[in-house]
Amino acid sequence: MSLVEKVEIIQFNEDEPDYLRTFDSEDRAGSWYYSPGSVGRRGHLMVRVHTADGLTGEYAYHATAGAAALQAVDVARVLVGRDWQHRERLFRTARRMARPMHNYGLSFVDNALWDLAGKAYGASLAELLGGWRDRVPAYASTVNGDRAGSLSSSEQVVEFFGQLQQAGWRGFKMHSWHEGDKWEEARNVTRMREVLGERAELMLDPACVFDSLSDAIFVGKACQEAAFRWYEDPLRPIGVGVHQHRQLRDALDIPILQTEHVPGPEAKADFLLAGGTDLLRVDAHYDLGVTGSLTTIKFAQSLGVKSRCTAPAPSTATSSPRCRAPRCTRSPTSPRTTRTPRRTSTPAATPTTGRASARTARCRSPPVTGWA
């Protein structure tokens, strides 16, 4: 038995050059928005679990909700003095304890415990989970288009994706403009197919910009006609209504990808079984860590449903295995796949000043992420 001796909960900010969280219009309120010359400050949270025999597990990622830190503190109180290998026990206890709010903070602690296990056993997360692949497919995904010079028009979008295609990328996902103009969105979808060719894997994630089901169906039909691989989260407010999405599915033939904002395994299972989605979005950051995500993935497997994993990757304040192409720490020489990190550990950020410096190489906008 190896007991947890101490848990550190560290909040820090990371610089986001050329981006600010904006509130200058209702359409994009709260979004990170391209702002050349500005430096935004993105809040992060890091959890470090220390054991009595000298091991440390850690996990860091952005955390816009202050409640995550408060909840992580509560979970840490349960963890200290207990066997770190009893992740399921902690999972069971912490979920009920945190029932007044979503279990977001539990994810940080659970992921840190998986990191600890990887270090203790000298194995990667993939090995711990019984996996065999050391390479997985990746696609290039943008932030939302804006009107400030970064993916501000369909012409810029296809030009940018075309550059990535020249570099070897085969899959591309666009996040819509904040205005939710169905005509603009449909034109862009058609244009992406025309320019990127019939073999490109294309996806659209409006990120919940459409107020009406009819607008969402209109753009979904454009995606369908352009043979997109999936259509994701088109509806306001955050894509959690089963009835709405069952209507959307009834109107379209293209696969619908929901549940990014439907938290946790039970709610996702209900959403799927009630007919609200074709594919499941799973995220170890929002969905109760690796432990919670595995529950969803195994459930989906048993039904023959694919789970699409999105964030997280370690904070950009750490050396990141995620592919964030133009700002990537690694050259995108092998863009079709992203190597599974050998170990679960995330090199520690250095928040000694309360602020971690971003170590990623800075490249020109627009940023592309391999997540969300």
| Chain positions contacting Mg ion, by CB under 5 A | 205, 260, 372
CA distances from 95 to 1, 152, 265, 291, 320 (A): 24, 42, 12, 12, 29
Cα–Cα dist 69/91, whole Å: 17
Cα–Cα dist 54/81, whole Å: 14
Closer residue to Mg ion in complex, CB, 32/91: 32
The answer to whether residues 153 and 181 touch, using CB atoms and an 8 Å cutoff, is no
Closer residue to Mg ion in complex, CB, 150/258: 258
* Shortest distance (Å) from residue 283 CB to Mg ion: 9
Cross-strand pairs, 275: none
Instruction: List b or e across 42-61, with b for residues whose CB sees 16 or more CB atoms inside 10 angstroms.
Output: bbbbbbbbbbeeebbbbbbb
Cα–Cα dist 318/324, whole Å: 13
* Shortest distance (Å) from residue 372 CB to Mg ion: 5
* Shortest distance (Å) from residue 233 CB to Mg ion: 5
Closer residue to Mg ion in complex, CB, 261/343: 261
* Shortest distance (Å) from residue 279 CB to Mg ion: 11
* Shortest distance (Å) from residue 232 CB to Mg ion: 5
- Name the residue number minimizing CB distance to Mg ion: 205
Closer residue to Mg ion in complex, CB, 175/327: 175
* Shortest distance (Å) from residue 266 CB to Mg ion: 21
Closer residue to Mg ion in complex, CB, 223/372: 372
Token pair belonging to 217: 């169906």
Closer residue to Mg ion in complex, CB, 206/332: 206
* Shortest distance (Å) from residue 326 CB to Mg ion: 20
- How long, in residues, is the chain? 372
DSSP assignments along 99-160, one per residue = TTS-THHHHHHHHHHHHHHHHHHT--HHHHTT---SEEE--EEEEE--SSSSS-SHHHHHHH
Closer residue to Mg ion in complex, CB, 48/178: 178
CA distances from 341 to 98, 320, 364 (A): 31, 9, 26
